[in-house]
Chains A and B, each alone.
Chain A
Amino acid sequence: MPAMGVTDADPSIAPLSLVTTDELGFLKVAQTGGSAIGSLQCVRRWGRADKSRGIRSLVIKPASDTGPELAAVGRSNGDIDSLSCQHGTVHGSISAQPCDRADRDAGAAVAGLSLWSTEGGLRLMSCTEGGQARLYEGTWMQSSPEAPEASGTEPSSCEWKQAAAWQAAKVPVCCMAADGGTGVMAVGCKGSELSIWNIKTQQKAYQAKGAKPNKLGLMDMPWNSAVAFTPGAGGRLLFVGTGYHKLRLYDVAQARPLLNVEFGEGRLTSLAPCPDGEMCWAADSTGRIQVLDARTKKPQSSLMGHGGAVRSISLHPSRPLLASVGLDRHLCIHDIRTRECLAKLYLKQILTAVEFWDTPRPLVPQHSKPVPNDLPEARAELPSSQAKSQRT
């Protein structure tokens, strides 16, 4: 692939890699051909087409001393897979609990995932739509975890063991965010206000209240549709988006929000706080992406480019870039300083999540059609209803 517009880009900047997931169950890796962002293309597609196992949430842990890079995906039937974006190999799978599957109304779909590493190994926090919060402990089964990276041959496997499980909400859960460093988890629901749980003790640490009633004495019903912890605040400050187009900033020292700002006209779907903790990018169900500055208390800097709702946004850890995906089946990358859309890539499916990925080695684009069945699945324990949907 000839790199487009390489001349006008800085050659010192490494190529970008992004991972997206979609409703059909695919995990796709998009990568720039050279240093120019405009040459973004899809280089890998992992997974097989099965809507019942569509991916709802994605989290990526970069490679560290404790283990290689690892991605975890939460599916709409409640299964969680941990896999390598580089090879597409599944390192470990967690099947949905039978109680979740039986209770269809409660929702077995994974509403939120969080992955971090501790001295003891990996920790994976998940929360289903039915309100079941679960903590898993993961250990690498291979003696030398760097092996897959170094040789690029056989990756090691990861064993997941459930460490804790509790009912975090009795109403449908819309979003979940966990702060591994401080050991807290926030759950946003439709029907009750935000609550924060201590992961160690599985006790509720904080129960938020909604914003104060307005002049007419009216207030919004509880519906928190997006939540994110402010980086560097030690799990004390968090941004919350509501289904009634409000963006709030909560401090756990008080029940009511510090800020309650009107944001667009649709339901807020995704939040990405900036590393300084003062600003927060937010996206909504009409395709609006704007940043809220907690100091000026106004949403500003609209990013144009999406034709439909935005499902997920992600900030690059070091560069001024914001990636967004949504129902219009496009992945957009914007420069947050100039607000320019640098790249727009059509990825064919309704996309659900996006993350920047610090790839250890750039992937070579596949020109032939990707093999559809290269993700081994836990097929043995599929219930009959799913087997039926696979046939169709």
Chain B
Amino acid sequence: MLGKRKRDVEPQVVDTRSVGEKTSHIANKLVRAREYAKLKTKKKKAKRTERARREKETLKAEELGLEPPPKRVPKTLENTRELDGTVVQAEDDEIEADEAQDEYAGYFESTVAPKVLLTTCYKPTKLMYRFLAEMLETLPCAYYYKRQGFALKKIVKYASNRGFTDIMVFNQRGKELDGLLMIHLPDGPTAHFRLSNLILGEDIKGHGRATTHKPELVLNNFGTRLGRRVGRMFASLFSQDPAFRGRRVVTFHNQRDFVFFRHHRYIFEEKEKKQPGKKEKETKVESRLQELGPRFTLKLMSLQHGTFDSKSGEFEWVHKPQMDTSRRKFFL
């Protein structure tokens, strides 16, 4: 037994080819299928024995009070990400200096309070109004204005004269919402997002109604230079002093360049629970979440310098098909 195991551990020349690659040279389909099945079974079996061996080792280590072997981390797109060198490092004085003087500096110094203008495409449908009603509850500093056929450049001028800090334009195609244009005022930038997977709060099972408290904000994984800029754009839509009594949280969670928007209420509850093996109940603090909605997903299409000018504006970043060279490359 011992000798056998030792032989297994010995380093061998590992064939990294997949089963398909090993059998693809066989011309006869029946033979190939048979060979394929045989190899596949062999591979599965090897995997199973390997797993059993690892589990055994862990158990043994636990019994002896030793440190178990490190847990294997599965490979995901996130942890095998190809970094492009623009990820912001902590305490980078140059980037801090830039962000201290950028378009959002006033908001982060709490000298400018957010005031958001919500509007729509030229011909919104009923769904848009139901959605906007929920967005107005989500954003306490938002005001809805009818589009009324005005050109966006005129709306930008109008809103900047009236002290608005942001414009959000929701676009609809057919009966589905498909786009969001966010314009920071007075000097930009302008971000265009594709909006998808919209579910209204009222369609979420067990949903709640939002209160008028100012929500807290969670921004996840906006790590690169572009991501930071987009994250700051989202942050500047909400007030910097949330009303913690309201226990409302708005989340922008970035994963693989998709930004997931969620809106929840949390609660910490003391609950008496019976622990297994004990007779008396114990009080335990539990946290629970209730979704308020709406929920949707955003994907950045372009970030333009300055306010909306699709014809001659300069783009800080535009998504181009030739950028999608790898599944492991992310921009935010």
Contacts and interface: CB of A to CB of B under 8 A. Distances in A.
A348 B314 contact: no
A139 interface: no
Interface string A35-51: 00000000001000111
Contacts of B92: 348
Interface string B206-236: 0000000000000000000100000000000
B199 interface: no
B315 A309 contact: yes
Interface residues of B, number: 29
B25 interface: no
Contact of A328 (B109, B311, B316): B316
Interface string A335-353: 0000000000010111000
Contacts of A243: 312
B313 interface: yes
Contacts of A244: 312
B149 interface: no
Interface string A44-84: 01000111000000000000000000000000000000000
A331 to B, nearest CB: 12
B318 A286 contact: yes
A329 interface: yes
Contacts of A92: none
Interface in B33-79: none
A285 interface: yes
B203 interface: no
Contacts of A269: 314
Contacts of B94: 24, 26, 45, 49, 348-349
Among the interface residues B98, B102, B305, which one has the most CB atoms of the partner chain A within 10 A? B98
B95 A392 contact: no
A307 B323 contact: yes
B195 to A, nearest CB: 22
Contact of A308 (B95, B312, B314): B314
B4 interface: no
A327 interface: yes
A369 interface: yes
B98 A24 contact: yes
A349 B98 contact: yes
A255 interface: no
Given A269-B314, A349-B94, A392-B100, A307 B320 contact: yes
Interface in A346-392: 346, 348-350, 369, 372, 389, 392
A221 to B, nearest CB: 11
B275 interface: no
B317 interface: yes
Given A51-B101, A369-B93, A309 B316 contact: yes
Nearest to A329: B225
A309 B318 CA distance: 9
Interface of B: 84-86, 92-95, 97-98, 100-102, 105, 109, 225, 303, 305, 311-318, 320, 322-323, 331
Closest 9 CB pairs of A and B: A49-B97, A309-B314, A267-B312, A51-B101, A285-B314, A327-B316, A308-B316, A346-B85, A308-B315
27 contacts: A49-B94, A49-B100, A49-B101, A51-B102, A266-B315, A267-B312, A285-B314, A285-B315, A286-B315, A287-B320, A308-B314, A308-B316, A309-B315, A327-B305, A327-B315, A329-B225, A346-B84, A346-B86, A348-B95, A348-B98, A349-B94, A349-B98, A350-B305, A389-B101, A392-B100, A392-B101, A392-B109
